[in-house]
Chains A and B, each alone.
Chain A
Amino acid sequence: MEDISNPPSSDLPTTTTLPTATEINPLTSTPSRRMAGRVEWPTIDGPLGLSHQDSVAYARRFFNFGFLCLPFLWAVNCFYFWPVLRHPNAHQSHPEIRRYVVGSAIGFLVFAVILSSWSLTFMIGGNRLFGQVWDKLVMYNVADRYGLTGLI
């Protein structure tokens, strides 16, 4: 997770001077943690990501679309707005964004639990637990039955 942190000495730089060549490498910089514990950027991309105003719309959109059987979208939502999750008491962390992101996180966890429990039961239980239905449901038989691998 890469965040960009602004230099603590954020005096207003004069535009006449050249920008100093101190470059923060996003790959190696530490997560954004300003001195006051503020979240400078709501997204994980830092200054490359969204501003605070746009983030609300995106967070809401991701959250709503996730209800279309898209828990992965909730996971992406949490990943994208990780700083918001991470610093709940930050000064700039909008409560609106946080609401959606937390909702996405909860939804993803619930869905993941359900799906993994079903899937693991299926895999481990196998024939003994399900009987005939197992052979009907397992994917490689379904693929053979419908010739799915011959489409291309």
Chain B
Amino acid sequence: MDQDSKPRSILETLGEELVRIITPVSICMLLVVILVTVLNTDSEGSSIDPSFTTIATIAYSESSSDSIWDKLKGALLNSLVFVAVITVVTFLLVLLFYFRCTKFLKYYMGFSSFLVLGFMGGEIALFLIQDFSFPVDCVSFVLVLFNFTVVGVLAVFMSKMAIFVTQAYLVVIGMLVAYWFTLLPEWTTWVLLVAMALYDLAAVLLPGGPLRLLVELAISRDEDIPALVYEARPVINIDSSPTGDVLQRRVWRERRNTGSALDENSDARPNFDPSTSPVTNSNTTPGTYLSVGSGENEINLVNAEEGQVFRGDSELAAPLIQHRINVRMNSEEDPSPSENFALEGIGLGSSGAIKLGLGDFIFYSVLVGRAAMYDLMTVYACYLAIIAGLGATLILLAFCRKALPALPVSIMLVYEVRPVINIDLSPSGDVVQRRVWRERRNTDSALDENLDAWPNFNPTTSPASNSNTTPGTYLSVGSGENEIGLVNAEEGQVFRGDSELTAPLNKHRINVRMNSMEDASPSEKFALKGIGLESSGAIKLGLGDFIFYSVLVGWAAMYNFMTVCACYLAVIDL
């Protein structure tokens, strides 16, 4: 195995892993958007039954006649109540997990999925049947619904069901719950999303945060969390299991198990409280694992969410879902640190499986579903923002060996483009600076072409190159570093009028520096901090790129503002 093909394979598998997480998230969002557009065509915006009370609207019931200030106050009140409930729920979860009520939690999980799939799914199916006047008889409808529900409960309940079936059912559950959330009043939804993102930040990063406690408990116990978590299929390294043993797909290297059952009194309406728990990191000592090889480190990222579903008069608390992103790292036995690519760790280890909690599915879908009530450009912009945030979080996960919340990045990106509500959330120090350019090379090429007055743009991407550095001090942090350079090359030409102006070509490179785990002292250094902090790097961006980006966004401005936002996000993603 030569050096050149290794980074390519790593990048391929990295892309594969990312795609396997982003695909179900996108599918869930798409389904919610379809449901919202299909079922809400008759009513404008949010036509909420005044008697639609959930725990999220318990403090204030929004009506369209209120002033903006009243709506904002009411929404804030609602969100406060909601977040308070979620906090209590999470603490209860921690408590129950502390007392090892795992079996109870598993049954609870199954019961909650039964409710969601059976009742919510049935209601939405009835809505659809009524809207389309689909002439199905009640016998077949009940039979199909019963089958669907029971198999779904089995899929989330049993650990060894077909992966595809389990994944499909989790996406469906996320879609159903997200649709119900979109029925909340408008202002409440938007403020609630922000509140949940802030809660996520607080609960994960603060020392006393419930999610952090949960994570630490699970780590110390090395237990599995009985929760609804979407697991992506890992990319399997065939050579790593020569004996043909069954790979444990769900490697909960997380040492933490959280289970919680929450009983809450509510009125006759169902409500749903998701809470997000942190994304955590844990490092294991090197050792054999799944007969792969020696030496592996593991990064665990945990997003936990809890949700409750109440139906009827009974107090049913369906524990929500705990999300977890597991990132496994394989450190190779090769002594040269160049073999140690931390990016490999994003689920690229032989036993790695990326897990994403269902609450993230739900919140992303709620956001996009709510955006679907306005117009499609909003949907597109929000979708891009969410995917960008999710990708950034996943990559950040590989580097930061620390619990990180997953919601805030996406939601902050979305709120940067929301035209209706402008909530300025300045990024915290943990948020990765996505756009960091560090150039190593400047290539100038002048192309002379005769064209008409229209600019053209030829982006080319060059393959990622890898350079290995010998271990040494780096920014006085630690010893041993590896570097992965990802190169995006863009060549742009702008032609104005009859003259031929060629803008020098620019090569942009995102350098990611990573610290290997050989360091005895676990450094809290975020590898992504390395981006742009090197003393010798100067960030250069060719003027052609400036011009092109501005041209694109300027064109978009001729249509409407949402197009501008969407194009802006797309440009920034590049």
Contact surface of A with B, Cβ cutoff 8 Å: 2, 4, 6-7, 10, 12-13, 15-16, 18-27, 40, 43-51, 54, 58, 69-73, 76, 79-80, 115, 118-119, 122-123, 126, 137-140, 142-144, 148-149, 151-152
Residues of B41-66 contacting chain A, CB below 8 A: none
Of residues 252 to 266 in B, which have CB atoms within 8 Å of A's CB atoms? Answer: none
A13 and B162 form a contact (CB under 8 A): no
Q: Are A148 and B133 in contact (CB under 8 A)?
A: no
Q: Given the complex, which residues of B lie within 8 Å of A149, measured CB to CB?
A: 123, 126-127, 130
Least Cβ–Cβ distance between A12 and chain B, in angstroms: 7
B140 contacts across to A, CB distance below 8 A? 115, 118-119, 122
Say yes or no: A13-B239 contact (C-beta < 8 A), given A69-B143, A137-B137.
Answer: yes
Q: Does B237 contact A (CB under 8 A)?
A: yes
Chain B residue with Cβ nearest A77: B162
Closest residue on chain A to residue B330 by CB atoms: A19
Contact A151 B123 (CB under 8 A): yes
Choose, from B146-154, B194-202, B563-571, the stretch at the interface.
Answer: B146-154
Q: Which of A20, A70, A140 contacts B129 (CB 8 A)?
A: A140
Q: CA A7 – CA B365 in complex, angstroms?
A: 41
Closest Cβ of chain B to A53, distance in Å, is 10
B16, B139, B147, B350: most-surrounded residue (chain A CB, <10 A): B147
Chain A residue at minimal CB-CB distance from B141: A139
Given contacts A18-B1, A19-B240, A22-B238, 16 further A-B contacts (CB under 8 A): A19-B237, A21-B1, A21-B9, A23-B238, A26-B236, A48-B163, A48-B233, A49-B163, A69-B147, A73-B154, A76-B161, A76-B165, A138-B135, A144-B130, A148-B126, A152-B120
Chain B's nearest CB lies how many Å from the CB of A51?
5
> What would 30 A/B residue contacts be, using CB atoms closer than 8 Å?
A7-B238, A18-B1, A19-B239, A19-B292, A22-B237, A25-B16, A43-B162, A44-B162, A47-B245, A48-B234, A48-B236, A48-B247, A69-B143, A69-B147, A72-B147, A76-B165, A79-B164, A80-B162, A118-B137, A119-B136, A122-B140, A137-B138, A138-B137, A138-B138, A139-B126, A139-B129, A140-B126, A148-B126, A152-B269, A152-B311
Q: Give the Cβ gap from B547 to chain A, nearest Cβ, in Å.
A: 40
Interface size counted on chain B using CB atoms at 8 A: 63
Residue of B nearest to A140 (CB): B130
Interface check B13, CB cutoff 8 A: yes
Separation of A45 and B166 alpha carbons in the complex (Å)? 12
Given contacts A76-B151, A140-B133, contact A49 B350 (CB under 8 A): no
**B287 CB, nearest partner CB in chain A, Å:** 13
Known contacts A21-B9, A23-B9; A73/B123 CB under 8 A: no
Which residues B154-172 have CB closer than 8 A to chain A? Answer: 154, 160-165
Docked pose: A72 CA to B143 CA in angstroms: 10
A21 to B8, CA, bound (A): 11
**CB atoms of B239 and A137 under 8 A apart:** no
A23's partner among B139, B163, B235 (CB-CB below 8 A) is B235
From B119, B148, B154, B249, contact of A48 by CB (8 A)? B249
**A76 shortest CB reach to chain B, Å:** 6
Beyond A69-B146, A115-B143, whether A47 also contacts B244 by CB under 8 A is yes
A15 partner residues in chain B, CB cutoff 8 A: 293
**B561 on interface, CB distance cutoff 8 Å:** no
A16 to B236, CA, bound (A): 20
**B222 interfacial by beta-carbon distance below 8 Å:** no
**In angstroms, how far is the closest chain A Cβ from the Cβ of B471?**
19
Contacts of A73 in B (CB 8 A): 147, 150-151, 154
Q: Closest Cβ of chain A: how far from B333's Cβ, in Å?
A: 6
With A50-B160, A122-B137, A151-B119 as contacts: A18 and B333 at CB distance below 8 Å: yes
Q: How far is the CA of A25 from the CA of B333 in the complex (A)?
A: 23
When the two chains form the complex, which single residue of A10, A50, A58, A139 contacts B138, counting CB atoms closer than 8 Å?
A139
Q: Which single member of B139, B161, B246 contacts A51 (CB below 8 Å)?
A: B246
- A44 partner residues in chain B, CB cutoff 8 A: 162, 164
Residue B332 interfacial (CB < 8 Å): yes
How many Å from the CB of A140 to the closest CB on chain B?
Answer: 5
**Bound CA–CA A23/B84 (angstroms):** 46
* A116–B88 CA distance with the chains assembled, in angstroms: 48
The minimal Cβ–Cβ distance linking B21 to chain A, given in whole angstroms, is 13
Is B5 on the interface with A (CB-CB < 8 A)? Answer: yes
In the bound complex, residues from chain A placing their C-beta under 8 Å from that of B437 are none
Chain B nearest Cβ from A78, distance in angstroms: 10
User: Is B270 interfacial (CB 8 A cutoff)?
Assistant: yes
B5, B134, B180 — most chain A CB neighbours (10 Å): B134
Q: Is the CB of A142 within 8 A of B138?
A: yes
Specify which chain A residues have a CB less than 8 angstroms from the CB of B238 in the assembled complex: 4, 6-7, 22-24
What are the residues of chain A within 8 A of B5 when measuring CB–CB? 21
Distance A142 CA – B13 CA, assembled complex (angstroms) = 51
> Closest CB-CB distance, B50 to chain A, in whole Å?
13
User: Could you tell me if B6 and A72 are in contact, using CB atoms closer than 8 angstroms?
Assistant: no
Residue among A20, A51, A137, A151 facing the most chain B CB atoms (10 A cut-off): A151
**Is B242 among interface residues, defined by CB-CB distance under 8 A?**
yes
Q: Are A70 and B236 in contact (CB under 8 A)?
A: no
In the complex, how many angstroms separate the beta carbon of B272 from the nearest chain A beta carbon? 11
- Chain A residue with Cβ nearest B150: A70
